[in-house]
Chain A
């Protein structure tokens, strides 16, 4: 899950995903200050996939879908997609039935990009490129190729394992083409890097850093745009422009893309575009990327950084003479967290809610709806709706949605709910939901806006076949009327308060295929559709202003993202001239000014502006000549393509093997490999292993298993056949021999992203010999487990910090030969995290495990992950009960060690105060209770590599121990 720190930067958890945000949609549906996320998955994808499905525990839990594991959220396949294939000269394009027209167009775009990049890289890719397109983000985020959950704003991704390119369509042709081209840059990057190292007979020691790879993808896809200007200007003028060797600090954030793009722009202009591909060709000459840069460009990275910075200063310093900081003419209303946006003022007529406004923010890690007071900064801020914790508000689409408020205090917003978006009506006065609307044929809904009668609302809907149009819904009659019906993307509609007119932003403007958007007016009575603004730029976020009978909007027409006002004839003025970018203006009820989001110092905060006394330069629709609209393209019939059926063909994702030799114990050797099909809907996992004392025991200790997983539908299932044999150790480290051959079925059904039911059935012939409990059995056994899992936790790198997760499991093993129960299990694990601050929480875990039968399990609860001052098996039994409490808080933000050879930056340290109580016993009640209390420290180096140090004392709750016990371990917090 995303966690924002107080400076508005995402936590390092995000760095697992190499991302670039939507240029078009970060905070509205249109070009706004954050660029598109395009993810590259690491080569660890198959390993993690294996872990998440097979290992059950040790994979990164919260960020990955976990169909068959103890906790974790679910990636729900609401739709079963029927895939087809379209083959061109260089691509295998995978699409599903509804999107064939789009598929042909995508293929044409891809081939065009291929030609362009072939020249730029002077490189040929020797394999066919799998390109997979989706009709909507909803379908895209359901894919099984990425085990990760895709954050909002992801526009596409390229994964390393098989070079698959995944691109969702969001209604905009420009976005689609841009994303395809961007991802193909990554495909070329991977290919040329591999070739260079292969040819030069070297290990791939040097890989271009993230800023370079993403910066190049943006550089060769887009021209420098006003959004980039806004971000870079902010960095330069605030003195916060990092040097190139500091770019790593921004890995995973949108700044990586913009900084990288800027440096690549500079290299291209000053050293030549041909130098860029030379950088790849010479990766082998040095042991670090900075040296490669120097080899190609002839200047050190430091000098390059200085020259680039100077170039930016030359460009942006003069802007200070043209504009002022936004805060000089406004009041700041928010400051906590890095992203507060989509502000809408409440009407002043609502009793007790005067001077209030509503906004969206992920300030605590979850995106919520907040209400605050306009009387001061961070005044009276409270949560109205908690998002991202429940199925009803699974996602509030922070980056691509606006909200609206009616005169009687009804808030309109959009939330994802199960397999579709829904419009939610929330009564701010009564503090409860008063309506919810959704339509199965619309996979995406955005930016609803009230009509003055509060009976109708207009919104943007994305249909299943990829049309983004305006819709009008009458709440009383329940009539849904489609207002536009074409391939243009019509977004951010706003209903006129005094007339039957709707203003919206659209790419139907001339130049729309290249990213231009203008404002249009739709007259509901006559059906007439006409330009309100015109010109080769982006006009967006229109909002009606009743007092002046005009429309506020944002435009980037002169490299500054500023607020303008026009009347219904398209005549108006510029209102703001600020150095900081402004988005989403919404007029105040009294007509004295407006609220807007301002980008400053890398953060998005809400400001209140008064209307200026003097107006800026005028604009008029007549200033710009009309020109013919562009036509949404259809694929040329000359594009060579062949249709093919999608077949489930497996190829190897991951293989590993190992040998272990311990002269005094035994040898061990194992082999595992995982195969999957192109969509990763079908997986095959094989494992072979052997642990033996001697060669004569080789066959006795031989194990093998094969498992097939089907993740294509909502119900995930697995089928497994296995033969396990050898000497094992139980939880108390007592040895036992078991030989088991049989088959099992695993089922997992997600009820929502946060809840699932999973069950397994196994039938096996088993020989077990457990001397420690005098148990011996030969015969058929049947085992059945069923679990209910809930998880909506929010994580820091060290572990959960908010939300709740629990697992209730029951199990039964039957001795089929005797027709009797052999073992039963009941397991319950409940964990809740009560947020105390942005990085602090009170965490509670209540865990109980109970087992009974002739062949029971034994559990232990000691150790760093349980009762912290006890050895792992010091408290054990057939039954355990444990209560852990911990207050987690940040201790040190980061450690910088200054060493003679250079600085080393270490991650921050989390502190913890803990109090544990628990017991393990075999029979009877009450059990003897033990406790531990103390302090702990955690330091995360990424993934499972969380160093833990706990020190404390024991207690039996009658007396307190005097000896300190210290434990060091690795692993996340519970």
Chain B
């Protein structure tokens, strides 16, 4: 604890969307995070804020983008830098890594937007260009999907691209301006349009499997647990959607200004409002709802990045620079860490390691003893 306390100035937690984190854990028991993380495995100074979601590849590399137009690739377990590269223009969104950091892997990212925008395919082994093509629509989401990469632009157009050369596999329009990023689960992409609809799209063909009307405005992507999608509107309405059929069931009202995706654990849906209220309620199966909350906690601080599940705990980073671990079943606070600055990129759990990036640009990876 003392060592941890002494290094509180910088912690880096990376949080991928919940399901991705779960999928990437390998052989580590996340219940180890019941205690406060205390060992710094490695740290680095990225220079500037990390505001885009962090990526950890299946082969254990951390890819991070900073606001001073750099991209970093580090080995998560050791911190060894694989490569680093700087660009001339802003990098718009978190890059997508396909095929790991390997001889055959690619990293797709967008540099600049509008007339100067370029979509670049980098060789993941060294970060050098494999190809580039003009791309004006500012991307808000890039996600590897099998052998392809899904992209969502500000215009609300969803593309599937071949990472080898950037060619288009398919595209879908109509998700509204600045729609939230989607969530990928196997062959399905679940996307909420900015206002009024949830879609299920076949990631391979681009075919719309179903579309369901959901009233409200969306800023956060849905989250998926099993066959249930949890969707929150800005106004605080919570819906559960059957991922197979698109059936929508209103599931109660949470605090307004739901700007981050909910997280799910078993039948519980945990939401975090922008003013720091963490609320947990239960989805019933078959689809139904128990509108009463199981618990709610007021962190009394703004929250500006997604929460993450770590085993039985939900990790929430506040805009005041505090990382809090709550028991998912009852909301009890297990530990709390004071960080030097806020996190805009959510903490990420990978193979038992917690990776955190602050808005001062420091990246820390913690191990738990």
Q: Which residue of A lies closest to B50 (CB)?
A: A199
B325 at the interface (CB under 8 A from A): no
Q: Which of B9-17, B124-132, B221-229, B270-278 contacts A (4 or more CB under 8 A)?
A: B270-278
B344 and A199 form a contact (CB under 8 A): yes
Q: Which residue of A lies closest to B305 (CB)?
A: A122
Q: Which residue of A lies closest to B177 (CB)?
A: A298
Interface residues of A in 88-147 (CB under 8 A from B): 89, 115-116, 118-124, 126
Interface residues of B in 155-182 (CB under 8 A from A): 155, 177-178
A122 and B303 form a contact (CB under 8 A): yes
| Given A118-B275, A122-B304, A124-B342, also A274-B257 (CB < 8 A) | yes
Interface residues of B in 181-220 (CB under 8 A from A): 195, 217, 219
Complex Cα–Cα for A776 and B257 (A): 76
| Given A119-B273, A297-B177, also A124-B67 (CB < 8 A) | no
Chain B residues within 8 Å of A120, by CB: 257, 274
Complex Cα–Cα for A123 and B344 (A): 11
| Given A199-B359, A201-B68, A274-B217, also A122-B234 (CB < 8 A) | no
B234 and A121 form a contact (CB under 8 A): no
Complex Cα–Cα for A115 and B302 (A): 9
B338 at the interface (CB under 8 A from A): no
Complex Cα–Cα for A328 and B279 (A): 60
Chain B residues within 8 Å of A200, by CB: 48-49, 51, 67, 90
- Give the A interface residue count (CB, 8 A): 25
B219 and A274 form a contact (CB under 8 A): yes
A272 and B217 form a contact (CB under 8 A): yes
Complex Cα–Cα for A131 and B126 (A): 54
Shortest beta-carbon distance from B66 to chain A in Å: 8
Complex Cα–Cα for A297 and B342 (A): 26
B77 at the interface (CB under 8 A from A): no
Q: Which residue of A lies closest to B155 (CB)?
A: A298
B67 partner, pick from A116, A126, A201, beta carbons under 8 A: A201
Shortest beta-carbon distance from A288 to chain B in Å: 13
- Residue-wise interface mask of B (77-120) relative to A, using a CB-CB cutoff of 8 A (1 in contact, 0 not): 00000000000001000000000000000000000000000000
Complex Cα–Cα for A274 and B304 (A): 12
| Given A199-B51, A199-B344, A272-B234, also A119-B217 (CB < 8 A) | no
A118 and B274 form a contact (CB under 8 A): yes
A199 and B49 form a contact (CB under 8 A): yes
| Given A199-B48, A201-B48, also A123-B154 (CB < 8 A) | no
Chain A residues within 8 Å of B19, by CB: none
| Given A118-B275, A199-B359, also A123-B217 (CB < 8 A) | no
B301 at the interface (CB under 8 A from A): yes
B238 at the interface (CB under 8 A from A): no
Interface residues of A in 844-903 (CB under 8 A from B): none
Complex Cα–Cα for A266 and B219 (A): 19
B273 and A124 form a contact (CB under 8 A): no
Shortest beta-carbon distance from B211 to chain A in Å: 21
A122 and B178 form a contact (CB under 8 A): no
B320 at the interface (CB under 8 A from A): yes
B149 at the interface (CB under 8 A from A): no
Chain A residues within 8 Å of B234, by CB: 272-274
Chain B residues within 8 Å of A378, by CB: none
Complex Cα–Cα for A115 and B273 (A): 12
Identify which of A126, A200, A278 gathers the most chain B CB atoms within 10 Å of its CB: A200
Interface residues of B in 22-68 (CB under 8 A from A): 48-49, 51, 67-68
A123 and B67 form a contact (CB under 8 A): no
Chain B residues within 8 Å of A116, by CB: 275
B71 at the interface (CB under 8 A from A): no
B301 and A124 form a contact (CB under 8 A): yes
| Given A119-B302, A199-B67, also A298-B217 (CB < 8 A) | no
| Given A118-B275, A201-B48, also A274-B302 (CB < 8 A) | no
B367 at the interface (CB under 8 A from A): no
A122 partner, pick from B49, B217, B255, B274, beta carbons under 8 A: B274
Shortest beta-carbon distance from A860 to chain B in Å: 55
Chain A residues within 8 Å of B259, by CB: 122, 274
Complex Cα–Cα for A124 and B318 (A): 8
Chain A residues within 8 Å of B318, by CB: 124
Q: Which residue of B lies closest to A90 (CB)?
A: B300
- Residue-wise interface mask of B (300-334) relative to A, using a CB-CB cutoff of 8 A (1 in contact, 0 not): 11111000000000000011110000000000000
Chain B residues within 8 Å of A274, by CB: 217, 219, 234, 257, 259
B256 at the interface (CB under 8 A from A): yes
Q: How many A-B residue pairs have CB under 8 A?
A: 78
A123 and B178 form a contact (CB under 8 A): no
A298 and B154 form a contact (CB under 8 A): yes
Chain B residues within 8 Å of A385, by CB: none
Identify which of B90, B177, B276, B320 gathers the most chain A CB atoms within 10 Å of its CB: B177
Shortest beta-carbon distance from B217 to chain A in Å: 4
Identify which of B195, B274, B301 gathers the most chain A CB atoms within 10 Å of its CB: B274
A115 and B275 form a contact (CB under 8 A): yes
B302 partner, pick from A89, A123, A285, beta carbons under 8 A: A123
Complex Cα–Cα for A297 and B273 (A): 22
Complex Cα–Cα for A199 and B275 (A): 21
B275 and A119 form a contact (CB under 8 A): yes
A295 at the interface (CB under 8 A from B): yes
Interface residues of B in 223-279 (CB under 8 A from A): 234, 255-257, 259, 273-276
Complex Cα–Cα for A115 and B276 (A): 9
A688 at the interface (CB under 8 A from B): no
A296 at the interface (CB under 8 A from B): yes
Identify which of A121, A201, A295 gathers the most chain B CB atoms within 10 Å of its CB: A201
Complex Cα–Cα for A116 and B275 (A): 8
Shortest beta-carbon distance from B27 to chain A in Å: 36
| Given A199-B48, A199-B49, A298-B154, also A124-B320 (CB < 8 A) | yes
Q: Which residue of A lies closest to B49 (CB)?
A: A199
Chain A residues within 8 Å of B195, by CB: 272
Identify which of B138, B275, B276, B300 gathers the most chain A CB atoms within 10 Å of its CB: B275
Q: Which residue of A lies closest to B194 (CB)?
A: A272
Shortest beta-carbon distance from A131 to chain B in Å: 19
Chain B residues within 8 Å of A201, by CB: 48-49, 67-68
| Given A199-B51, A199-B67, A199-B359, also A124-B178 (CB < 8 A) | no
Chain A residues within 8 Å of B217, by CB: 272, 274
Complex Cα–Cα for A272 and B219 (A): 10
Q: Which residue of A lies closest to B342 (CB)?
A: A124
Shortest beta-carbon distance from A119 to chain B in Å: 3
Q: Which residue of B lies closest to A121 (CB)?
A: B302
Interface residues of A in 307-345 (CB under 8 A from B): none
- Residue-wise interface mask of A (275-289) relative to B, using a CB-CB cutoff of 8 A (1 in contact, 0 not): 000100000010000
A124 partner, pick from B48, B177, B319, beta carbons under 8 A: B319
Complex Cα–Cα for A285 and B138 (A): 11
Chain B residues within 8 Å of A297, by CB: 177
Chain A residues within 8 Å of B344, by CB: 199
Complex Cα–Cα for A123 and B304 (A): 7
Shortest beta-carbon distance from B321 to chain A in Å: 8
Complex Cα–Cα for A122 and B344 (A): 11
Chain A residues within 8 Å of B68, by CB: 201
Chain A residues within 8 Å of B49, by CB: 198-201
Identify which of A120, A124, A272, A296 gathers the most chain B CB atoms within 10 Å of its CB: A124
| Given A199-B344, A272-B217, also A122-B154 (CB < 8 A) | no
Interface CB pairs A-B, < 8 A, 28 = A89-B300, A116-B275, A118-B301, A118-B302, A119-B273, A119-B274, A119-B275, A121-B302, A122-B259, A122-B274, A122-B275, A122-B302, A122-B303, A122-B304, A123-B319, A124-B301, A124-B318, A124-B320, A124-B342, A126-B321, A199-B67, A200-B49, A200-B67, A273-B234, A274-B219, A274-B257, A278-B178, A296-B178
**Across the A-B interface, the 7 shortest Cβ-Cβ residue pairs:** A298-B177, A119-B275, A124-B319, A122-B274, A199-B49, A272-B217, A124-B302
Known: A89-B300, A199-B49, A295-B138. 15 other contacts (CB 8 A): A118-B275, A118-B301, A119-B255, A119-B273, A121-B302, A122-B257, A123-B304, A124-B321, A124-B342, A200-B49, A274-B219, A274-B257, A278-B178, A296-B178, A297-B177
